[in-house]
Amino acid sequence: MRNLEIDIETYSSVSLQKCGVYKYAESPDFEILLFGYSADGGEVRVIDLASGETLPADVLSALTNDSVTKWAFNAQFERVCLSRYLSDMGISLDPFHDRHPLSTACARFLNPETWRCSMVWSAYMGLPLSLEGVGAVLGLEKQKLTEGRDLIRYFSTPCAPTKTNGGRTRNLPEHDPEKWDRYKAYNLRDVETEMQIQSKLSKFPVPDAVWDEYHLDQEINDRGIRVDMQFVKRCIALDAETRDSLTASMRELTELDNPNSVAQMKSWLSDNGVETDTLGKKTVAALIGETEGDVSEALLLRQQLAKSSVKKYQAMENAACADDRCRGMFQFYGANRTGRFAGRLVQLQNLPQNHMPDLDAARALVRSGDTETLSMLYDDIPDTLSQLIRTAFIPKDGCRFYVADFSAIEARVIAWFAGEAWRTEVFRSGGDIYCASASQMFKVPVKKHGVNGHLRQKGKIAELALGYGGSVGALKAMGALEMGLAEEELQPLVNAWRQSNPNIVRFWWDIDSAVKKVVKERKPQSIGRVRMFYQSGMLFIALPSGRNLIYVKPRIGENRFGGESVTYEGVGGTKKWERIESYGPKFVENIVQATARDILMYAMKTLRCCEIVAHVHDEIIIEADPRMSLDVLCEQMGRVPPWAEGLLLRADGYVCDFYKKD
């Protein structure tokens, strides 16, 4: 046996959506119900484990045999669940490859190195991340059966006890044999669908380097990151107490039955002379400054209640395994246009920032349950809890967190692609790109906290909003007006930035022209370090790293201004498969962000011997012995990949006893 295609159906009382597969498979009542498989492309078989059937010896052996490649759609699920299954059977897992981080740990999972994931393959091709979606787009002969959700709900999750079902909390095969036969047919069809996907995509194999990245991603997910559960539970309890107190104060002030109701609150404000269409965060903040007395106080209470959200803390509590580590928080190739990671469960990618100078003291008060002192020192408890969210992540005993990230990675990458020499010189000299950009735009020297320092903010907002063709709307979306810029300043700011970066602007439109030419004429084009070509109904953009960005069924369309545009099929803003319009600057954004992602992956491979527990955008979090050198870590992270000659990188870092923004 060389290849084993697998699809399993399971039962657990733990919610897979809320808690993730690692905690799901840890549940005492977890079990595998059905094991569908095909060996080396042969006939698909379903082993009814729930009814007492057993896995054939050769299949059982293959699971721990590093010479057999295991395939599944969303293979992490099968790999983690089968790790638990083998453990329950008393089968010791073969020794992992030396570089697998969990070879000597108490939490043991099957070595990801011999697993392949057809969901990752689909994502690499720009296809949906669901088996049903991929089957529909590829027009497979054997589609995923649509009744699967109902069958999963019936057999794979707990049921409510009723008189009709005799008060049981779980449905077994004997409770509905006909449904059970359909569940087995559903399991078999999933294996067939997965095999057809691989057959359809066989002309476009995923590069070995990307599979290696996937295996590293799985190692990081297997390792997980520790959560301070005592602190988390205190935060949840304190938030509930604070929320009750704020709601009571608001009810007393407004005399409303439900002061959290938007409709009731808008009506109360109207009765008090304040008309507003919305009670969004920005509107409430503005109204607080424009009102006084009871109205201002009520709005302030509402603002505090809006911050009073413990969803992140609850997500940590849900996902934490028995050893207090959250696992499975990163979705490899979650953004299939660029290949960047997506967050899962706790969603590290969108944690609130911390600006408190005394994080340690506030954290200690919360952890000890000293609510009285906390209330005395901090007026806004919800805001305090929000700023402390990051600090719930802690290293294991005897270790510290080493946090390192790239400095202005996208600004460096776009300058490298476009050949914008003045920007490269700023990075070479260790300058501040926001000051340098403002200086270039306004033709005066700009120093942070120094001469013309007020212009740095304009340089910063321009850098963040305008790099990918953005204009006045992008500046507003980035908060330019809230930062003090006047409406009449915005268009001149756009003009000044573009005039200061002519090579970047040229790069946008060179890419735009090249993509259109490829789609129209089917002839390859190259712009600097980027190569584009058309093959089998898809547009390929080859990155310097050797990885491809792939756009499905591209064609020339007409944009809302009556001009030419390129459209392609993909998962759009509605999360549905649809035709998406794009143009030069947007393709450049994909190219730059994808390349920044490849640089991060190169750094993570370089630091593979370290215990990476998490990563956020362009930042890596490592759990390490306090004797490790931060300077050496940053030096290693800042190494330029061999395929990026001439690119200037810099990584900065800090050491901490709990996660935070330095």
655 and 538, same domain (yes or no): yes
103 and 197, same domain (yes or no): yes
Residue in this structure with the two tokens 């005993």, named with its chain if needed:
397
185 and 111, same domain (yes or no): yes
- pLDDT tens, residue by residue, 357-394: 889 999 999 999 888 888 888 878 888 898 999 999 99
182 and 80, same domain (yes or no): yes
- pLDDT tens, residue by residue, 483-539: 777 888 889 889 988 999 999 999 999 999 999 999 999 999 999 999 999 999 999
* Start-to-end CA span in the chain (Å): 51
Cβ pair 328, 113 in contact under 8 A: no
How much of the chain exceeds pLDDT 70, in percent?
97
The residue out of 201, 223, 245 marking a domain boundary is 223
60 and 200, same domain (yes or no): yes
Helix (H) or strand (E) holding 251: helix 229-254
Q: pTM of the entire structure? A: 0.90
Q: Is residue 438 part of a domain?
A: yes
175 and 306, same domain (yes or no): no
462 and 359, same domain (yes or no): no
Q: Is residue 481 part of a domain?
A: yes
Residue 292 backbone phi and psi in degrees, to 5: -150, 175
77 and 92, same domain (yes or no): yes
Q: What is the CATH number of the domain that holds 605?
A: 3.30.70
- pLDDT tens, residue by residue, 404-443: 999 999 999 999 999 999 999 999 998 888 898 888 888 8
- pLDDT tens, residue by residue, 321-371: 999 999 999 999 998 789 999 999 998 988 888 888 889 999 999 999 888
Q: Is residue 415 part of a domain?
A: no
What is the Cα–Cα distance from 622 to 636, expressed in whole angstroms? 13
What is the Cα–Cα distance from 114 to 65, expressed in whole angstroms? 8
Q: Is residue 343 part of a domain?
A: no
In the prediction, which pLDDT does 216 show? 96
Q: Is residue 490 part of a domain?
A: yes
Residue 99 backbone phi and psi in degrees, to 5: -85, -5
Task: Please give, one letter per residue, the 3-state secondary structure of 35-51.
Answer: EEEEECCCCCEEEEHHH
376 and 257, same domain (yes or no): yes
The residue out of 198, 223, 248 marking a domain boundary is 223
Overall domain count for the chain: 4
What is the Cα–Cα distance from 225 to 194, expressed in whole angstroms? 32
What is the Cα–Cα distance from 360 to 370, expressed in whole angstroms? 14
Q: Is residue 331 part of a domain?
A: no
Q: Is residue 337 part of a domain?
A: no
Q: What is the CATH number of the domain that holds 85?
A: 3.30.420.10
Domain that holds residue 275: 228-319+351-392
Which of 230, 470, 489, 254 shows the shortest CA–CA distance to 368? 230
- Local confidence band at 309 (pLDDT 50, 70, 90 cut-offs): low
